[in-house]
Amino acid sequence: MSFNIKNINIIVLVFLYGFLGTNSLGAQTLVPKEFSASSTSNFTDTVMPIILHKQVTKTFEGQPLIIEAIVTDNDALKDVTLFYRAKGESNFRNELMNLEVNDYRFEIPSEDIGVEGIEYYIEAVDSSDNRAYVPEIDPEDYPYQISYVSLSGPSAPDVLLLNPEDGSENTDGHQLIIVSLYDEEDDIDVASIKMEVDGVDVTDGLEINQDLISYVPSTDFALGSHSIKFFISDLMKNESPPMSWTFFIKEEAELKVKKPFLADAKIKGVINYESEFDAFSGKNQPENRPSDTQKPSVKLTFNKKNLMATVGIVLNKHFDPAANEVDKNRQPLDRFRFSIATPIISFKGGDHNPSFSKLTLKGARVRGTVTDLHYKGLSTQFVYGRTKQMISGFASFSGDSSVYNKGTFSRKIIGLSTQFNYHDIVEVGVNYLQVEDDTTTLEDEVYGNFSAIPDSLQNKYTAQSNTVAGVNSRVKLFGGKTEVVSYWAASIMTEDIIDPVSRNQDVSTYNSDKGLLKNISEGTYLVEFTNRNQYFDLKGSFKRIPRLFSSLGNSSIQTDIQGLKLDGRTKLSNNQIMLILGYENTHNNLDLLDIQTVRNATYSGNMTMMKPGLPGLNLGYRFMTHKGEAVAEDTVNLSDDKSSTLTIAPTYNLRIRNVEVGLSGNLMFMNFQDDANREASFKSNSYMLAIAQTYPNKLSVNLGFGLAQNIPVSDSKTTFTLVNGKIAYALKIKNKIVKFYSG
């Protein structure tokens, strides 16, 4: 048994400077009210939000990884969501970014950061369901990349033979070989695994499940001595010492003393503590920016034979009592998770991000249990828990007046997904999801419980119920170079289960009066295809998602849309130049309930040039058009606008006397022209510059500058300027690392 105090972080934020220019509205920039979506009944808002974001390219071990973005729009913003995953994972987690002072931000938990780094993208959605992303083109397949820099030094994986025991004598020749792996950085390179039994390479016959490796010999072992050799390394090319074990098969068994339960078990632990201090100069400390944050964390791992268990907890607390009171009225920031895994079944509890499909459950954080069953090509996942925790209603006071703040219902989720995979060529699956706000457990600091709240205040509450059933399939052709994935789903949504009238008015996308084929063709579906070869990559999708479809398990689904999307890319000059072309054609108003149908066309191109030793350059251009078609003959004020966006992003990495220097910039020029309403036209420009320096003594310095301008035709210019900087230093004392940050 071993425990390791991995590191201690001391983070002192002493400089944060942002100032607003003439007529600035911070993170929410509006055009004049007479041209807003709410002022004209026939007006359809087609302007996407604008995301100002400086890409994060590197994160250091123990350093908080905070993703920030300034988002503007011509109307109200609905959500700004961060999608992220550790490199090597297939599914993205998604979390809403919080508006703090003038920018949206989210701190990625340290336990979610892989040793290879993080991939991420940002989505912004306004009240008209217009969506913008960074990166702009195909962000899910080509997200931003963040590399991970370890300060404590990586370690090779630990290897333990669970069965048969090293040096053991056995009478049964039918022996299952089981090897347990543990890697502190969770970056095992599966491709490096190699096993030899009696000098014969049996790697192709290994069954790898999580951190357990098993091998079933085709025949029983003969009498005598037998040897096992095992080789492995991690993704950072840290090789474990070659492992050699011996066991014996004998005719008669010798009496052996029964070993204690923990005799052949392996237990490891990691303790980590982070302390952050955040102070504002020249202005009052915002309520949503606590002056300090304390983050103790513990992780334990247990291995024994074919059993592996892990448990981890990360707390998010403050010395400041007022900050702890504010956190009581937010969704929990603490994280707790555990897992118990065997080669066939695994059971997880606490905070996890399961995924079924793109139309049902995708990356939402669930606090509960996740059970996975794997047997040959069959896999089943059962999810039970809550996606929201209950927050009590409370009263806040200002002078002699009080304001009632409504609470939040806990949101229950139960889901089941089953997949069958045939030799990684054909995969079919079905999944079911039920999500409902729990009105029975709401506590209230003023009235006690929900039923005691007066009717005048109960009207502030709404509670939803949602059921989704889906089918998905995957087919690989031509040796896996071409892949076709399809999703179909139907949903039932009750917008308010509190109101007696609404409770009995379910909205379903499945019409039992129509046949199955009609429900499929006029229902909710998404078909994607990819083709990758040595010359180019081609990806396309066709989707139809009606207005009435809803899944509370995936907040990123855009509804009332049908259309085609194509994306092609190729690499030239030994992969030093990448060209991307994109096309998208969609329309809304599938049920013809609106007075007009808006057809959208998008043409995009991107070129990236990266040559070792020379500056890099990324050039992007996007042209969009929106044209309205009248549903009724007397319709006026049809949408008719177009926009063009040019993006220039230079980068340059160089070394000056053992000092690594990274320069990056991002220039964006957008011109929106509304031919139906000239006064609503505007221009938007942004300029960002960042300098990063890393010194041999573990000192790093980062400086950044940003400027965003919104220039309407009929109103004054809005300017947002941001200057930031950070200095980090890692001090090693007796094999312990203390990290200092000033930003």
Q: For the residues 558-574, what does the mean pLDDT come to?
A: 93
| Parent domain of 257 | 158-268
- Residue 10, Cβ density class (10 Å: 0-12 exposed, 13-18 middle, ≥19 buried): middle
Element (H, E) at 516: helix 516-521
Q: For the residues 49-74, what does the mean pLDDT come to?
A: 82
Q: How many domains does the chain contain in total?
A: 2
Residue 207: which of 235, 177, 229 has the closest Cα?
A: 177
Residue 169 lies in a domain: yes
95: pLDDT strictly greater than 70: yes
Scored b (16 or more CB within 10 A) or e, 665-683 reads bbebebebebebbeebbbb
Q: Which of 35-49, 93-107, 248-262, 560-574 has the highest mean pLDDT?
A: 560-574
Residue 466: which of 528, 602, 559 has the closest Cα?
A: 559
* Same domain flag for 365 and 233: no
Distance CA 596, CA 616 (A): 45
* Same domain flag for 380 and 526: yes
Q: For the residues 30-43, what does the mean pLDDT come to?
A: 42
Sign of CA dihedral 652, 653, 656, 660: positive
* Residue 204 dihedral angles phi and psi, to the nearest 5°: -65, -20
In a 3-state reduction of DSSP, which class is residue 173? coil
* Same domain flag for 374 and 225: no
Q: For the residues 404-431, what does the mean pLDDT come to?
A: 94
pLDDT digits (tens, 9 = 90+) for 68-90: 888 888 778 889 999 999 888 88
Angle at 445 between CA 440 and CA 449, to 5 degrees: 25
* Same domain flag for 376 and 506: yes
Dihedral-angle region of residue 634 (phi above 0 means left; psi in -120 to 50 means alpha; beta otherwise): alpha
Q: Which of 24-33, 216-225, 478-487, 528-537 has the lowest mean pLDDT?
A: 24-33
Higher pLDDT, 65 or 38: 65
Distance CA 355, CA 94 (A): 11
Residue 417 lies in a domain: yes
Residue 419 lies in a domain: yes
Q: Which of 34-38, 50-54, 264-268, 591-595 has the highest mean pLDDT?
A: 591-595
pLDDT digits (tens, 9 = 90+) for 98-127: 887 678 889 888 778 877 889 999 999 998
Residue 148 lies in a domain: no
Locate tokens 């109101």: which residue? 499
pLDDT digits (tens, 9 = 90+) for 461-512: 999 999 999 999 999 999 889 999 999 999 999 988 988 777 777 888 888 7
| Number of C-beta neighbours around residue 577 at 10 A | 15
* DSSP track, 558-577: --SEEEEEEEEEEEETTTTE
Higher pLDDT, 88 or 636: 88
Element (H, E) at 456: helix 455-458
- Residue 285, Cβ density class (10 Å: 0-12 exposed, 13-18 middle, ≥19 buried): middle
Residue 110: which of 134, 72, 75, 146 has the closest Cα?
A: 146
For the record, the structure tokens of 507 come out as 């909205």
Residue 185 lies in a domain: yes
The residue type at 206: L
* Same domain flag for 264 and 365: no
Residue 701: which of 677, 735, 725 has the closest Cα?
A: 725
pLDDT at 671: 94
* Same domain flag for 364 and 498: yes
Distance CA 605, CA 585 (A): 15
Higher pLDDT, 25 or 96: 96
Residue 437 lies in a domain: yes
* Same domain flag for 388 and 258: no
Q: What's the longest Cα–Cα distance across the chain?
A: 96
pLDDT at 205: 83
Contact assessment for residue 60 and residue 700, using Cβ atoms and an 8 Å cutoff: yes
For the record, the structure tokens of 288 come out as 């949503």
* Same domain flag for 260 and 374: no
Band of pLDDT at residue 17, cut at 50, 70 and 90: very low
Sign of CA dihedral 532, 535, 537, 542: negative
For the record, the structure tokens of 511 come out as 């019409």
pLDDT at 204: 84
26: pLDDT strictly greater than 50: no
Residues in the chain: 743
Contact assessment for residue 596 and residue 635, using Cβ atoms and an 8 Å cutoff: yes
Band of pLDDT at residue 702, cut at 50, 70 and 90: confident
Whole-angstrom CA distances from 644 to 599, 621, 625, 671, 684 are: 17, 7, 9, 5, 11
Sign of CA dihedral 79, 147, 365, 105: negative
pLDDT at 20: 32
Q: For the residues 303-307, what does the mean pLDDT come to?
A: 80
| Number of C-beta neighbours around residue 657 at 10 A | 6
In a 3-state reduction of DSSP, which class is residue 27? coil
Which CATH number characterizes residue 222's domain? 2.60.40.1220
The residue type at 575: N
Domain end call among 225, 241, 268? 268
pLDDT at 577: 92
pTM of the model: 0.76
Domain end call among 233, 268, 303? 268
Contact assessment for residue 176 and residue 215, using Cβ atoms and an 8 Å cutoff: yes
Residue 612: which of 648, 651, 583 has the closest Cα?
A: 651
Long-range pairs for 526-532: beta carbons < 8 A, 24 or more residues apart = 526/358, 526/359, 526/486, 526/487, 527/484, 527/485, 527/486, 527/487, 528/484, 528/485, 528/486, 529/482, 529/483, 529/484, 529/485, 530/482, 530/483, 531/481, 531/482, 531/483, 532/481
**Mean pLDDT, rounded, of the chain:** 84
* Same domain flag for 240 and 368: no
* Same domain flag for 247 and 392: no
Residue 441 lies in a domain: yes
Q: Which of 251-255, 463-467, 511-515 has the lowest mean pLDDT?
A: 251-255
Element (H, E) at 39: none
In this prediction, what percent of the chain has a pLDDT beyond 90? 36
Residue 724 lies in a domain: no
* DSSP track, 93-127: EEEEPEEETTEEEEEEPGGG-BTTBEEEEEEEEET
Q: For the residues 619-627, what does the mean pLDDT come to?
A: 94
pLDDT at 32: 37
Locate tokens 């806990």: which residue? 410
Contact assessment for residue 675 and residue 641, using Cβ atoms and an 8 Å cutoff: yes
In this prediction, what percent of the chain has a pLDDT beyond 70? 88
* Same domain flag for 412 and 520: yes
* Same domain flag for 377 and 515: yes
Domain end call among 215, 245, 268? 268
342: pLDDT strictly greater than 80: yes
Element (H, E) at 20: strand 17-20
pLDDT at 28: 40
Contact assessment for residue 132 and residue 72, using Cβ atoms and an 8 Å cutoff: no
7: pLDDT strictly greater than 50: no
